[in-house]
């Protein structure tokens, strides 16, 4: 194959991750009195999941801790103290509010996992009568605080604040270099465009990672230099169009050469008609074509089928498809999450996520990973110096990634590797290129 120039992003964590034999990306496990096979494995360090083979979370989080400990052995990076870098969560609402109680449980799990990665976790709490002016003032302080790697607002806000505060305007004031949860519309827009950016929205990026490892390991897809599988030749359906999952996922998949179907939504139709029969027909026509379904409709009941509350039924699926389901609607008892896929329909898929142990832990893992990246962004001059000190390692790794993707010789990739190295160390280039590069060479440095 003739070598084609590649000057997009290169590096990251996935090249290391996908090569780990201990990472069992597909497992068998019981769930709600059923035994399932070919379950996409995002689980890991949370209580109750460690009895299963190591999944996405249980491989990445300990590796981040190893890398945190290793920083002291790299001359340019030894002054970085991961334990002093904070992942900040802001909680608004009163503790007797059910929304806040649910958020507290999630924050506790997230904080414990953050500490396992070697970082510090902190929570700022405000009552439901907090004013937007008070939050603006605090946010300005947090944006300037170099000890904070990333910050995020735990949504939704409880009580009065949830009804009166313009969340979009508030989140748009987050410094994009600290927007680890992808809440600022600038981050959302840059991700949708595939442009240089500090972070991705955590859920869509976690979904992409889970799909990518399956495609690389099971379908022979090529791993791109940026750490995402090539989706070339696959018809991919996005079901849902939320601002933080469906929309950015739909847009960024085009950058990875997917043939996109959808997005499906509540006003999907044909010929100007959006009646129930037309919607069912269009939903089914598109979903039966899909090799991969990224589902994030996210509400129950759907009321489109007479005999089930779920959105996708077996007759809507292509045999052998891959399903990554991000929906976790709470209904019935208000405690258990339910996804978009009718459970009996899972047998038609080649692999699929469940409501637990799939996209949820992948999202949390991506959030914590981005907190770790935020620490590197706070020390970008040191990162670039470390790259300069290890130029031969950087170029060698870049050549390896480029040649593997292009299916070419190493010598053909040398020119691009030099350009990409020079971009990573240049003070005027986006910091993401230096951070991607340092992540890519950590495995080599740690073996020295």
SS3 179: coil
Q: What is the pLDDT of residues 72-96, one digit of tens each?
A: 999 999 999 999 999 999 999 998 8
> What secondary structure does DSSP assign to 356-386, as a single string?
SSSHHHHHHHHHHHHHHHHHHHTTHHHHHHH
Question: Would you state the pLDDT for residue 444?
Answer: 97
Look up residue 345 and give its DSSP letter: G
Of 170, 193, 216, which closes a domain? 193
Whether pLDDT at 48 is above 70: no
Question: Would you state the pLDDT for residue 100?
Answer: 81
Can you tell me the distance from the alpha carbon of 376 to that of 395, in angstroms, rounded to the nearest whole number?
20
The answer to whether residue 207 is domain-embedded is no
Look up residue 158 and give its DSSP letter: P
Closest CA to 40 of 363, 367, 360, 354: 354
The answer to whether residue 326 is domain-embedded is no
The pair of three-digit structure tokens given for residue 370, joined into one six-digit string: 């981005």
Q: What is the pLDDT of residues 172-194, one digit of tens each?
A: 999 999 999 999 999 999 998 88
Question: Would you state the pLDDT for residue 115?
Answer: 94
Q: Which residue has the higher pLDDT, 52 or 36?
A: 36
Core vs surface per residue 86-104: b (16+ CB within 10 A) or e: bbbbbbbbbeebebbebbb
Of 193, 219, 243, which closes a domain? 193
* Torsional sign, CA 363, 438, 182, 86: positive
Strand partners, 27: 39
Q: Output the domain CATH number for residue 141.
A: 3.40.50.10860
Give the model's confidence band at 243: pLDDT under 50 very low, under 70 low, under 90 confident, else very high: confident
Question: To which residue do tokens 């996109």 refer?
Answer: 260
Give the model's confidence band at 109: pLDDT under 50 very low, under 70 low, under 90 confident, else very high: confident
Number of folded domains in the chain? 2
**DSSP strand E in 111-213: where?**
120-126, 148-153
Quick one: average pLDDT of 226-233? 97
> What secondary structure does DSSP assign to 19-65, as a single string?
T-TT--SEEEEEETTEEEEEEE----SSTTTTTSPP-HHHHHHHHHH
Lowest mean pLDDT among 11-20, 102-111, 162-171: 102-111
Whether pLDDT at 5 is above 60: yes
The answer to whether residue 153 is domain-embedded is yes
Quick one: average pLDDT of 157-162? 92
Q: What is the pTM of this model?
A: 0.95
- Run of H or E including 248: helix 246-255
Q: What is the pLDDT of residues 309-350, one digit of tens each?
A: 899 999 999 999 999 999 877 665 556 778 999 999 999 999
Give the model's confidence band at 45: pLDDT under 50 very low, under 70 low, under 90 confident, else very high: low
Quick one: average pLDDT of 420-443? 98
The answer to whether residue 389 is domain-embedded is yes
Can you tell me the distance from the alpha carbon of 301 to that of 417, in angstroms, rounded to the nearest whole number?
51
The answer to whether residue 202 is domain-embedded is no
Question: Would you state the pLDDT for residue 359?
Answer: 94
Q: Are the C-beta atoms of 355 and 324 separated by less than 8 Å?
A: no
Quick one: average pLDDT of 59-73? 97
The answer to whether residue 319 is domain-embedded is no
Can you tell me the distance from the alpha carbon of 331 to that of 298, in angstroms, rounded to the nearest whole number?
11
**pLDDT exceeding 90 applies to what percent of the chain?**
81
Question: To which residue do tokens 């390896």 refer?
Answer: 400
Domain with 442 in it: 379-447
Of 156, 178, 193, which closes a domain? 193
Whether pLDDT at 385 is above 70: yes
The answer to whether residue 145 is domain-embedded is yes
Can you tell me the distance from the alpha carbon of 434 to that of 416, in angstroms, rounded to the nearest whole number?
15
pLDDT, averaged across the chain: 93
Question: Would you state the pLDDT for residue 84?
Answer: 95
Closest CA to 87 of 64, 71, 66, 69: 64
- What is the Cα Rg of the chain in Å? 22
Whether pLDDT at 281 is above 80: yes
SS3 295: strand
Tell me whether residue 27 is exposed, middle or buried, using C-beta atoms within 10 angstroms of its C-beta: 0 to 12, 13 to 18, 19 or more: middle
The pair of three-digit structure tokens given for residue 347, joined into one six-digit string: 């047998």
The answer to whether residue 144 is domain-embedded is yes
């Amino acid at each position: 194959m003739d070598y084609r120039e590649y000057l997009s992003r290169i590096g990251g964590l996935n090249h290391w991750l996908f090569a780990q034999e201990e990472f069992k990306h597909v497992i068998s496990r019981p769930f709600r009195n059923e035994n399932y096979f070919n379950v996409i494995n995002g689980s890991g360090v949370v209580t109750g999941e460690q009895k299963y083979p190591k999944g996405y979370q249980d491989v990445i989080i300990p590796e981040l801790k190893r890398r945190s400990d290793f920083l002291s052995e790299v001359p340019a990076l030894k002054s970085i103290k991961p334990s002093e870098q904070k992942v900040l969560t802001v909680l608004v609402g009163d503790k007797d509010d059910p929304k806040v109680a649910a958020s507290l449980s999630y924050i506790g799990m997230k904080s414990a996992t953050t500490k396992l990665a070697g970082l510090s976790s902190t929570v700022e709490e405000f009552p439901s009568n907090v004013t937007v002016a008070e939050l603006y003032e605090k946010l300005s302080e947090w944006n300037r605080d170099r000890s904070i790697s990333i910050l995020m607002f735990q949504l939704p806000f409880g009580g009065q604040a949830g009804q009166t505060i313009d969340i979009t305007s508030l989140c748009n004031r987050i410094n994009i270099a600290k927007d680890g949860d992808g809440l600022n519309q600038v981050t959302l827009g840059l991700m949708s465009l595939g442009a240089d950016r500090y972070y991705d929205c955590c859920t869509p990026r976690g979904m992409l990672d889970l799909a990518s490892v399956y495609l690389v390991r099971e379908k022979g897809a090529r791993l791109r230099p940026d750490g995402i599988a090539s989706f070339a030749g696959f018809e991919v359906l996005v079901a849902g169009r939320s601002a933080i999952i469906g929309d950015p996922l739909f847009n960024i998949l085009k950058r990875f050469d997917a043939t996109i179907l959808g997005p499906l939504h509540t006003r999907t139709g044909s010929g100007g008609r959006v009646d129930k029969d037309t919607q069912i027909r269009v939903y089914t026509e598109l979903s039966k074509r899909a090799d991969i379904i990224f589902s994030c409709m996210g509400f129950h009941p759907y009321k489109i089928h007479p005999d089930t509350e779920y959105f996708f039924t077996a007759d809507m699926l292509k045999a052998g498809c891959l399903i990554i389901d991000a929906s976790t609607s709470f209904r019935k008892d208000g405690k258990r999450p339910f996804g978009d896929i009718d459970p009996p329909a899972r047998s038609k898929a080649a692999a699929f996520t469940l409501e637990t142990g799939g996209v949820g832990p992948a999202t949390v893992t991506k959030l914590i990973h981005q907190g770790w990246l935020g620490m590197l962004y706070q020390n970008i001059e040191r990162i670039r110096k470390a790259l300069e000190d290890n130029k031969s390692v950087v170029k060698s790794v870049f050549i390896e990634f480029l040649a593997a993707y292009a299916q070419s010789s190493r010598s053909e990739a040398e020119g691009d590797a030099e350009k990409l190295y020079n971009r990573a160390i240049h003070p005027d280039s986006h910091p993401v290129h230096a951070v991607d590069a340092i992540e890519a060479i950590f495995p080599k440095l740690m073996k020295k």
